[in-house]
Amino acid sequence: MGTRFHIAQYLDVDVDNETFHCHECGQELGPVAKNYKEGCLIYERDPRTVHRPLIEGTELTFAPDPEWCRILEFYCPGCGQMFDNEYLPPGHPITHDIVPDIEAIRRAVQQSTRS
């Protein structure tokens, strides 16, 4: 195990191996050069299963139309921790929203170990 740096609520970066890891269990999620979500378990949900009817027995809901929107949930394959979820049009690639600056993280780790 290399030196870990906490970069998001449930994500760490291993600066020695340049890999993402679950903050809760340490599960590796792939190289920092790629999207950590590709290392996750992904649950694609029909929005109607997330947004329940506002009034029992009716169709009234705030659920987006499943023809236009899907909900993706990203989980740690090691411990089941949910990392993120996103609403995307069907067929849209998963978002790549965390691109760590590994050199800046390495410098921060080096500075914190000096003091």
β-strand partners of 88: 70
CA distances from 101 to 33, 54, 104, 111 (A): 10, 44, 5, 16
**Bridge partner residues of 11 (DSSP):** 8, 22
Would you count residue 30 as binding Zn ion (CB under 5 A)?
no
Q: Return the range that interacts with Zn ion (CB under 5 A); candidates 39-47, 63-71, 72-80, 101-109.
A: 72-80
**Tokens of residue 30, six digits:** 């792939």
Nearer to Zn ion, 22 or 71 (CB): 22
Q: Among 17, 27, 61, 85, which residue sits at the site for Zn ion (rule: CB under 5 A)?
A: 27
Nearer to Zn ion, 31 or 77 (CB): 77
Q: Which residues bind Zn ion (CB under 5 A)?
A: 22, 24-25, 27, 76, 78-79, 81
